[in-house]
Amino acid sequence: MFDKQTLKKFETLETPFYYYDLDLLKKTLDRYSNERDRYSYHAHYALKANANERILSIIKSYGFGADCVSGNEVSLALKMGFNSKDIVYAGVGKSDKEIITALNGGIFSFNCESIPEIEVINNLAVGLGKKASISLRINPDIDAHTHKYISTGRAQDKFGISPWMFESVIRTIDNCPGIELTGLHFHVGSQITDLNVFELLCIRINDLQGWFREKGLLLKNINLGGGLGVDYSDPDAFPIPDFTDYFKIINKNLEVYPGQSVHFEPGRALVAQCGTLVSRVLYVKMGKGKKFAILDAGMNDLIRPALYQASHKLQNLTSNGRLMKYDVVGPICESSDRFGKNILMPETGRGDIVAIRSAGAYGQVMSMRYNQKPLAPEYYSE
Ligand code: LLP
């Protein structure tokens, strides 16, 4: 929740805007890095979750590398001072220009998703007189039990290389002087709340590693990606995900061989809870058997509810009225522009301030100018 002073500040500002609680961000990072360091694991923050420069520089100061999915993310990570040797780069569709940016940046690893991609990276690396370190992003055929649009590790998904292709991948790499195979990479989905998924993933990795070891291929690093979920329904009760249990499960189940390093790519779990989209109620309008609370923030500012049927906690911060039910919607000309149905809020009227919680991950970065709306600015607790 927000203290009186913060609320006062909100009342002076034009809405909608993103608000970041940097104190919570730092506590979250502190907790994560303690657990990470307990096992000497390496973590690369997934810039795609929130690429705000102020947030990036705080994250960097807690010893994170960067996980990128575009040439521009690689450039941003370098500009923000992330060590190039701590930058990993995934994505099924890396363009030549993006690959060259990463090669020139001297990144730690390309997480490669197909044979044609490996061949292109090889040609570009040879052309530049460089050798690219790559990890194979494996599609382990694991169901992450999350929304289908953010499941990435099932056989039918576009991501990664399936085990039946390993023979030909290795043959390809043998003919690529510009490529050095250094590891395996996995990322099976996002907003994963069932920790068994990570246990299954470890068991599958142990099995897959066996194949490479039999061929005499020693892999220096194993990257388990990101995916740990957050509590969207009660962000105040659970502001920080359970990193202790998460890493315990990995440590217990993953076989790590001497000389191997273990890597992670957390995004959402680090930044979701510190962000709030703050809006004002424009109108309350009667509908058939219901009331609509129409906000000035919409799917253009936070697309998660419209795209993934995601639910974010909604709070009227300024009314003390009796509880009533509202469909809380945005101003955009789409019926999917809805933050929640039948939401209990104190009696709501024009000008009330409504907070849309847990919006720090995949909020501002996915916002857009649909309907020619301006992009929401951001403010910080400090
Ligand atoms: N590594 C790779 C290769 C990824 O593709 C992702 C996220 C991550 C790490 C970070 O995952 P996280 O720890 O944040 O779950 N826009 C969606 C989420 C898309 C996730 C894409 N990849 C949403 O709003 O739910």
CA dist., res. 105 & res. 144, Å (int): 33
Q: What does the pLDDT look like over 242-299, one tens digit per residue?
A: 999 999 999 999 999 999 999 999 999 999 999 999 999 999 999 999 999 999 999 9
Q: What is the average per-residue pLDDT within 189-201?
A: 95
pLDDT given at position 303: 98
265 lines ligand 1 (CB under 6 A): yes
The pLDDT confidence band at residue 367, using thresholds 50, 70 and 90, is very high
The DSSP symbol for 165 reads G
Q: What is the CA radius of gyration of the chain?
A: 22
Write down the architecture of domain 4-17+273-380 according to CATH.
Beta Barrel (2.40)
For ligand 1, the distance from its centroid to the CA atom of residue 233, given in whole angstroms, is 19
Hey, whose CA ends up nearest to atom 16 of ligand 1?
362
CA dist., res. 340 & res. 272, Å (int): 18
CA dist., res. 43 & res. 225, Å (int): 9
Distance of CA 261 to the CA centre of its chain: 22
pLDDT given at position 207: 96
For ligand 1, the distance from its centroid to the CA atom of residue 220, given in whole angstroms, is 24
- Compute the mean pLDDT over every residue in the chain, rounded to the nearest whole number: 96
| Least confident window among 19-23, 30-34, 160-164, 292-296 | 160-164
What is the DSSP pairing of strand 290-295 with strand 275-287?
antiparallel
CA dist., res. 140 & res. 283, Å (int): 49
CB atoms inside a 10 Å sphere around CB 40: 9
Q: What does the pLDDT look like over 33-78, one tens digit per residue?
A: 999 999 999 999 999 999 999 999 999 999 999 999 999 999 999 9
363 lines ligand 1 (CB under 6 A): no
Q: Could you state, in order of their start, the residue ranges of all structural domains in the chain? A: 4-17+273-380, 23-271
Write down the architecture of domain 23-271 according to CATH.
Alpha-Beta Barrel (3.20)
46 lines ligand 1 (CB under 6 A): yes
pLDDT given at position 328: 98
pLDDT at 333 over 80: yes
CA dist., res. 314 & res. 245, Å (int): 28
CA dist., res. 48 & res. 26, Å (int): 19
C-beta of residue 141 within 8 angstroms of C-beta of residue 208 = no
The pLDDT confidence band at residue 153, using thresholds 50, 70 and 90, is confident
pLDDT given at position 154: 79
pLDDT given at position 348: 98
CA dist., res. 224 & res. 188, Å (int): 9
67 lines ligand 1 (CB under 6 A): yes
Report CA-CA distances (Å) from 46 to 63, 103, 183, 226, 270. Answer: 14, 19, 18, 8, 9
pLDDT at 159 over 90: no
Of all atoms in ligand 1, which is nearest to the CA of residue 265? 9
pLDDT given at position 183: 97
pLDDT given at position 79: 98
The pLDDT confidence band at residue 151, using thresholds 50, 70 and 90, is confident
pLDDT at 158 over 90: no
pLDDT given at position 116: 97
pLDDT given at position 218: 87
